[in-house]
Chains A and B, each alone.
Chain A
Amino acid sequence: MSQGHHIIPQRVLLGVFGSLIVLTGVTYGLAQINLGVLEVPVALAIASTKAVLVVMYFMALKYDNPVNTLTFAVGVIFVGIFITFTLFDTAFRGDIGNVSEQTVREIQREEEELQRRQEALTPEQLRVAPADFENAEPDPEAGTGADADRGGSSGGS
């Protein structure tokens, strides 16, 4: 035993434990009130703080051979890469097409707008071919025209 092992004092262990319990209480308390968009970042920040306390004191990286800290840090970095780069894909999926300057969502929004406008048109406005007008001609006089109108208006609504 050249350097011996660092024995973490009981006082430190109990102090860290106390902090962990307090942080658990804080994150539980904050969950009861609505923080809006900050909810997830705050909860994750508290969880990360707790994890750092456990890693540094309970797992003793603070007193340990630095190579273990390096190992752990590299692992955590790769977890970050894993999550970030997956979300780069999934969170923005369908945003950029390869045939148009517009984003896929913009095109979708335009199509939905056109669809809405088309549905708002009455059957009268949709008459374009001469045949449409011929069939509709007897409308004002005969009862058949009223039937057609009723059918048309229900279709248009």
Chain B
Amino acid sequence: MATDTATAPATTETDHDHPAHLEHHFVSTEQQFDSAKLGMWLFLITEILLFAGMFVAYAVYRQWHPEAFLEASVTLDQFLGTVNTIVLLTSSLTVALSIHYIQKDEQSKSFWSLIATLALAGVFLVIKYFEYTAKFEHGIYPGALFDPHGAKYEPLANIPYVAQFFSIYFVMTGIHGVHVVVGMGIIAWIASRVYRGHFGSDYFTHVELTGLYWHLVDIIWIFLYPMLYLV
């Protein structure tokens, strides 16, 4: 890699002997990209560990009160959960395509892939909104506010520890939802930079790292979906 700068001075844009996007403390574009990517993976690990805490809470309480979890989880809307899974998987595809296109210098296609990702993330949140409000209407709140009423939810009031399931459900999907909102902000910013032509096949670190973050949000949902809705 050290030979890159020596053998490829053709990319000069200023009086400096390196491309404009290359920071001085890196030997080459390649090294800068690798460092950024490793940093991103380290960040993603902290994200995984953040969610791991909640997955552990889920595992412990499910193991303690399996009957409460079974009774409570059937009141979640499996259909909406499945649709949201497909929506997020599709958004992962579009963000992967945006990286594919930017690597081939097809900025316009890359831009529209990111916009599609943004739209799908929006769809996900809208569906989530309807799911949440359907629960709130029947007094299904996290924590001490839990007060189920209405035909489908009335029996839940008599099952001990059912509130525990909904607290875990709201906290896990809520924090996941916050990640979706943050991801939308980042994707919007990166899409605007792609539109302005900041990236191309020689430099697309930001697009790649945004993609990694978005895929992680998808992976978290891949586990939340069966755990909360299906089993």
Give A residues with C-beta under 8 Å from B: 1-3, 5, 7-10, 13-14, 16-17, 20-21, 24, 27-28, 31, 39-40, 43-44, 46-47, 50-51, 54-55, 57-59, 64-65, 67-68, 71-72, 74-76, 78-79, 82-83, 86-87, 90-91
Asked whether B97 lies within 8 Å of A24 as measured between CB atoms, the reply is no
Q: How far is the CA of A44 from the CA of B93 in the complex (A)?
A: 22
Asked whether A71 lies within 8 Å of B63 as measured between CB atoms, the reply is no
B 141-185 to A, binary, CB cutoff 8 A, 1 in contact else 0:
000000000000000000000000000000000000000000000
In the complex, what residues of A have CB within 8 A of residue B96's CB? 8, 13, 57-58
- Known contacts A20-B89, A43-B226; can you find 4 more A-B pairs with CB under 8 A? A24-B85, A24-B89, A67-B38, A71-B41
Asked whether B30 lies within 8 Å of A27 as measured between CB atoms, the reply is no
Asked whether A13 lies within 8 Å of B3 as measured between CB atoms, the reply is no
Q: How far is the CA of A5 from the CA of B34 in the complex (A)?
A: 11
B30-57 interface with A by 8 A CB criterion:
30, 33-34, 37-38, 41-42, 44-45, 48-49, 52-53, 55-56
Residue of B nearest to A57 (CB): B96
The A contact surface, by secondary structure, is helix
Residue of A nearest to B8 (CB): A1
Asked whether B48 lies within 8 Å of A7 as measured between CB atoms, the reply is no
In the complex, what residues of A have CB within 8 A of residue B119's CB? none
Chain B residues within 8 Å of chain A by Cβ, number: 55
Asked whether B231 lies within 8 Å of A72 as measured between CB atoms, the reply is no
The B contact surface, by secondary structure, is helix
Q: How far is the CA of A9 from the CA of B28 in the complex (A)?
A: 26
Q: How far is the CA of A39 from the CA of B226 in the complex (A)?
A: 10
Using A27-B226, A40-B231 as known contacts, say yes or no to A58 and B92 having CB atoms under 8 A apart: yes
Asked whether B226 lies within 8 Å of A83 as measured between CB atoms, the reply is no
In the complex, what residues of A have CB within 8 A of residue B231's CB? 31, 39-40, 43
Asked whether B1 lies within 8 Å of A7 as measured between CB atoms, the reply is no
Asked whether A7 lies within 8 Å of B103 as measured between CB atoms, the reply is yes
B200-231 interface with A by 8 A CB criterion:
202, 211-212, 215-216, 218-219, 222-223, 225-227, 229-231
| B90 sits at the interface (CB 8 A) | yes
Asked whether A59 lies within 8 Å of B37 as measured between CB atoms, the reply is no
| B59 sits at the interface (CB 8 A) | yes
Q: Could you tell me the distance in whole angstroms from the C-beta of A77 to the nearest C-beta in chain B?
A: 11
Q: Could you tell me the distance in whole angstroms from the C-beta of A143 to the nearest C-beta in chain B?
A: 45
Asked whether B219 lies within 8 Å of A71 as measured between CB atoms, the reply is no
In the complex, what residues of B have CB within 8 A of residue A9's CB? 100
Contact of A75 among B48, B63, B78 (CB under 8 A): B48
Q: Could you tell me the distance in whole angstroms from the C-beta of A27 to the nearest C-beta in chain B?
A: 6
Q: How far is the CA of A28 from the CA of B99 in the complex (A)?
A: 30
Using A87-B63, A90-B63 as known contacts, say yes or no to A65 and B97 having CB atoms under 8 A apart: no
Subset of 28 A-B contacts with CB under 8 Å: A1-B8, A1-B30, A2-B28, A5-B103, A10-B97, A10-B100, A13-B97, A17-B93, A28-B78, A31-B78, A51-B219, A54-B219, A54-B222, A55-B215, A55-B219, A58-B215, A58-B218, A65-B37, A71-B42, A75-B44, A75-B45, A76-B48, A78-B52, A82-B53, A82-B56, A90-B60, A90-B64, A91-B63
Asked whether B4 lies within 8 Å of A31 as measured between CB atoms, the reply is no
Task: Find the residue from A1, A39, A91 having the highest chain B CB count within 10 A.
Answer: A1
Contact of A79 among B1, B4, B41, B49 (CB under 8 A): B49
Asked whether A83 lies within 8 Å of B41 as measured between CB atoms, the reply is no
